[in-house]
Amino acid sequence: MNAPIPSAALTTGLSLHASLHTLAIEAWSRLRGTLEALGPLAETMDEGQVASYELAFVSAELHAMRAMLDYAGRCAEGPTPVLEERMALAFSADVITKVRQRFDRVRDAINLPGAPLIELFESAALRGFCREWLSPSSLAAVGSGILEAGQCGRSLLAEDKQIIAASFARVSAEVVAPLAERIHREDLTLPDELLSAIGEMGCFALSIPERFGGTAPESGHDNLAMVVVTEELSVGSLAAAGSPLTRPEIVARALMAGGYEPQQARWLPGIAEGKPLCAIAVTEPDCGSDVAAVRLRATRVDGGYVLNGAKTWCTFAGKAGLMLVLARTNPDPAAGHRGLSLFLLEKPTTEDHAFEFAMAGGGTLSGKAIPTLGYRGMHSYTLFFDNVFVPAENLVGGPGAEGKGFYLTMAGFAGGRLQTAARACGLMRAAYDAGARYAKERKVFGKALSEYQLTLAKLGLLGASLRACQEMTYHVAQLMDEGKGQMEASLVKLYACRAAENLTREALQIHGGMGYSEETPVSRYFVDARVLSIFEGAEETLALKVVARELLTNAKPL
């Protein structure tokens, strides 16, 4: 994220970021030393869960701060970036206040000396920076600037990506949005007209190479295009449009990682067209995010395997015709993740909230939709496999791929965290626009809400947070296109999903009583946002098992 030479204020922001980043590295080092004093790190890591959780968010927030400062710096190449610079500086000052609290909460637990904290956070440069850019007048000016511009800063996406964004924005507005409320309120399954519309636009083909009928380059994935499409569709509906892209992407990535060309040639062209639709069966009732603890059994029989056990939170399991199933082929508990294999299971389709199918190859597959607070339309099911037969040729990776299921699953989920951040961005845009519109229309005590300082200050910080999430997501997509960015994908997922919860809450609050009414879409945005920090890696799992493990083990600065 290299930026042109910035203004004096941006230079100060970047200098403060560098100091905070150095402090974060020291904090991770101190935590590692504290844990190693108790025993081997692999055995003591859980003793530092609270500190790890706080420091994971410090790393995510600092990554967002740097993304926003670099964005403002790049804006300097064009027209005078008054709004963008103000957004970046206000956002950075807000991050500084948050990470200070996190350092204060953990410093004693990790033996972090107080002197460096006092030296940095009580310095004239930091205090002056925060005083200026978090002042009520500065925040209100940012909010006013966003309302006047009609957007949270300008887009710096390349022209081809802006064309893609505009195309899918039309689909989102003309096809998705008119159906979204009814799908949510009546708890409907996604209608064929919606699925056909996004399928015809190539949504299911984004992670499939061109030689198999997809739109991804042969050399790898176009993660940035995927992010742009996902964001635009999520503006119309998180559940009904932003999320149907995820499942074919996971299946496609797993098949490509498996490297078995006959299997790829058989399945990928159809998946690219949305025929069949896909579902993923990985999570189990007692496992949650601990994929290695999967217990659904796959027992070898003549010609294939028989599946027995249960899965849960299997989204779209009713309407999908193809299911990716992670199962245990080695029953020895000591085998752990090395005893798992991945299968493709064909199944009948239904829009019913409960089903029981006598499978063509033998056995019974039954399922029941789980009632949820929000995120309706695709439905997540609990599934029961009773002697369900799956042919040997449906072992992902082909002959000899037994025991590789965990690794293929991780490859399949590689883009899931990034895509979830993009979904969060789209949902945030919808909520922000709704809040801004209502603030301009609603009059309280003789004037519009948007004329009050508090409303403007809220809109200023919320808009800056939205832009920070977008810029982080785009940057990580570019890193992943280069074969990097796995850690950064976890950070942007961690940050953007929490930010979406906060923004949708405040957008609802701006609506007052009408926001709590199901007559307004903002109530849907609020309940939909809550799932973001849970699926595709729960917040705690990401913080403790991905971010903390990486930064404690490898001491990798970000």
Single-letter code of the amino acid located at 4:
P
For the CA atoms of 346, 336, 384, 316, the dihedral, rounded to the nearest 10 degrees, stands at -50
Q: How many residues does the chain have?
A: 558
Check: CB of residue 431 under 8 Å from CB of residue 507: yes
Question: What whole-number distance in Å separates Cα of residue 387 and Cα of residue 370?
Answer: 23
Secondary structure (DSSP) of 304-373: EEEEEEEEEEEETTTT-SEEEEEEES---GGGGGGGEEEEEEE-----SSEEEEE-TTSSEEEEEEPP-S
Active-site annotation holds for 539: no
Question: What whole-number distance in Å separates Cα of residue 219 and Cα of residue 551?
Answer: 30
> Of 471, 536, 539, 550, which one is the catalytic site residue?
536
Tokens of 228: 């742009």
279, containing H or E segment? strand 278-281
Secondary structure (DSSP) of 65-104: HHHHHHHHHHHTTSS--HHHHHHHHHHHHHHHHHHHHHHH
Question: What whole-number distance in Å separates Cα of residue 100 and Cα of residue 181?
Answer: 41
* DSSP code of residue 229: H
* DSSP code of residue 300: E
User: Catalytic residue numbers?
Assistant: 536
